[in-house]
């Protein structure tokens, strides 16, 4: 069945609240309002989501991607990442970022499959002693045409 990836809207709130247990319901609402959830739709039902934020307000950071278990390994996760990458490119991003815990080999392998490369690890004191491994992926930003300043020479075609 074809997969559509869209920015999540209010209709997806209840579904997201049952799936995204890593953050408080208040944060789910804030991310939803900010347009920072993408959902994958198969048929008419959501089957996976991607939540992101902006590191330094400049680098899109995929905080979490999760596909419902019965829908895994059928391209849903890849479709979410591809749609996110395209949306971030449109916004002028030239680098993507994500992370996963050092003791989770499967998500790490999956990020690498999607073109991400290791870029270091951090620990977070008592909050998380297991290192969090960070990954980045360079992307080609959409060319932004800048207006020619008044009085400047017109560039040759
Ligand atoms: C990681 C996850 C999002 C992948 O989603 P998915 O829809 O199963 O992935 P896809 O079907 O798009 O995978 C595409 C390819 O990667 C492979 N793949 C899928 N899961 C993989 C894994 N865990 N490790 C390595 N390869 C994997 C698939 O076999 C497929 O390869 P193919 O095209 O050669 O058959 C999903 O397994 C998931 O929700 N896991 C639990 C949450 C999690 O760990 N999230 C990541 C950390 S934030």
Quick one: average pLDDT of 101-110? 94
pLDDT of residue 152: 61
DSSP assignment letter at 98? E
Helix/strand number for the chain, H first, E second: 4, 7
**Residue 154 domain-assigned?**
no
Domain that holds residue 124: 3-138
**Residue 64 domain-assigned?**
yes
Tens digit of pLDDT for each residue in 7-60?
Answer: 999 999 999 999 999 999 999 999 999 999 999 999 999 999 999 999 999 999
**Residue 69 domain-assigned?**
yes
CA of 66 to the centre of ligand 1 (A): 9
**Residue 156 domain-assigned?**
no
* Beta-carbon contacts of residue 126 (< 8 Å; ≥ 6 apart): none
**Residue 152 domain-assigned?**
no
Tens digit of pLDDT for each residue in 68-88?
Answer: 999 999 999 999 999 999 999
Tens digit of pLDDT for each residue in 132-144?
Answer: 999 999 999 887 6
**Residue 108 domain-assigned?**
yes
Return the CATH number at 82.
Answer: 3.40.630.30
**Total domains in the fold of the chain:** 1
Supply angle C-alpha 71, 75, 79, rounded to 5: 115
Tell me the pTM. 0.89
* Distance (Å, whole) CA 7 – CA 32: 9
CA of 72 to the centre of ligand 1 (A): 7
């Amino acid at each position: 069945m074809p997969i559509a990836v869209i920015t999540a809207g209010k209709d997806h709130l209840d579904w997201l609240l049952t799936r995204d247990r890593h953050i408080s319901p208040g944060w789910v609402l804030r991310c939803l309002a900010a347009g920072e959830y993408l959902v994958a739709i198969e048929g008419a039902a959501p089957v996976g989501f991607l939540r992101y934020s902006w590191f330094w307000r400049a680098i899109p950071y995929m905080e979490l991607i999760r596909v419902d278990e019965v829908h895994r390994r059928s391209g849903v996760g890849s479709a979410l990442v591809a749609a996110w990458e395209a949306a971030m490119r449109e916004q002028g991003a030239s680098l993507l970022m994500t992370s996963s815990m050092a003791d989770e080999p499967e998500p790490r392998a999956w990020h690498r499959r999607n073109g991400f490369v290791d870029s270091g690890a951090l620990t977070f004191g008592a909050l998380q002693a297991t290192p969090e491994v960070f990954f980045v992926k360079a992307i080609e930003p959409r060319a932004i045409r800048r207006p020619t300043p008044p009085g400047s020479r017109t560039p040759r075609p």
